[in-house]
Amino acid sequence: MSRETVLALLRRQEGDFVSGEEISRQLGLSRAAVWKAVDALRRDGYTVEARTGLGYRLAAAPDALTEPEIRRFLPPTEVVGRKLVCLSQVDSTNTRARELALAGEPEGLVVVADCQTAGRGRMGRSFQSPQGKGIYLTALLRPQLPPERLMIVTALAGVAVCGAVEAVCGLSPGLKWPNDPVLNGKKLCGILTELALEAETGSLQYLVVGIGVNVLQTAEDFSTEVAAIATSVAAELGRPVSRPALAAALIARLDRLRSALVSGDTEAYLAEYRRRCVNLGKRVRLLTSDGEESGEALDVDRDFGLVVRKDDGTVTTVRSGEVSVRGLYGYTE
């Protein structure tokens, strides 16, 4: 606790020095406890300067996905983010969130990890999650809604991710149907939504929304296969960005997503999705277990299905989970 209270006090000083005696007086700690707290902060990556006769000054904070660093940027939220579980490593944030949901954790919990050893994507794919490079988080939701109202959550999450990246980084991602934020034709983020229903009533037991954003990765951080279709925020910007700031923006937008889902007011999300969808007006390939077809993507319907005119002239609407969509000549083109 002394570590967190000393950090909060140093932050309030906005970079000015504060004496060890003053820290002791304000926090009711011994001088030895103050020194130990400062030492702990340094070991956690904080740069705390010490000057004889002046005291201590917080000079720099680490790019760490810890609760103090995320909350530093997180505005007040209604539900999502009320509790953060921040881990240095986990098999999968979705798996941990599901475990905590079954253990009774309330709605709004967010699990954040610096690294995943078994990150998962759609259709059983793995999601590469190297340490210190990305943001891997999962929000636990329990909206009292019928299952059919929940089918659009993943699409809404794609819009939320794009908004967070644009607000924090100044980049404007597109969306490759159904739920991949992309930049310059390459995948920036993976989103995996999972839910469980009560067997007897069919009511929602839990809904977890998992998001993995490539933030600081270089091409060398991806496998050869993934490097051909993936990018990161830093690679596109040419400079690093704050992972805690971006994580906080994601959490805040997931909170807004939950409110929109519960109220049913998702028109703005649909309009934004259509604006960002990189497939519209383009030739696409529809990949199913039975084979492959091609056509032109015409529109996104109110349930976020992709309306496609196939080469035989028939118009069909495809749903997430039924097919994979690729560009004719690459990931998005």
333 lies in some domain = no
Q: Among residues 257, 223, 69, which one has the least CA distance to residue 145?
A: 257
21 and 137 fall within a common domain: no
The SS3 assignment for 150 reads helix
304 lies in some domain = yes
82 and 153 fall within a common domain: yes
State the Cα–Cα distance between residues 126 and 123, nearest whole angstrom.
Answer: 9
Q: What percent of the chain lies above the pLDDT cut of 90?
A: 76
Q: Among residues 179, 190, 191, which one has the least CA distance to residue 217?
A: 190
Instruction: Let me know if 187 is exposed, middle or buried by CB neighbors in 10 A (0-12, 13-18, 19+).
Output: buried
223 and 293 fall within a common domain: no
163 and 179 fall within a common domain: yes
What is the span of the domain harbouring residue 318?
A: 283-327
164 lies in some domain = yes
Identify the CATH number of the domain in which residue 291 sits: 2.30.30.100
Q: Among residues 289, 292, 283, which one has the least CA distance to residue 321?
A: 289
pLDDT at 320: 76
Contact by Cβ (8 Å): 249, 168:
yes
pLDDT at 93: 95
Question: What residues have CB less than 8 Å from 40, skipping those under 6 apart?
Answer: 3
Identify the CATH number of the domain in which residue 170 sits: 3.30.930.10
23 and 135 fall within a common domain: no
Question: What b/e sequence results for 295-330 when a residue is b if at least 16 CB atoms lie within 10 Å of its CB, and e otherwise?
Answer: bbbeebeeebbbbbeeeeeeeeebebeebbbbbeee
128 and 197 fall within a common domain: yes
53 and 78 fall within a common domain: no
pTM as predicted: 0.89
123 and 254 fall within a common domain: yes
Average pLDDT, consecutive stretches of 10 residues, N- to C-terminus, the chain (333 residues): 88 90 93 93 92 93 94 96 95 95 96 88 67 95 92 96 97 94 94 90 91 93 86 95 97 98 96 96 85 91 94 91 66 66
- Span 134-150, pLDDT tens digits: 999 999 999 999 989 99
- Span 301-328, pLDDT tens digits: 999 999 999 999 999 998 876 667 776 5
152 and 213 fall within a common domain: yes
The order of strands in the sheet holding 109-113 is 83-87, 109-113, 134-141, 204-214, 189-197
Q: How many domains does the chain have?
A: 3
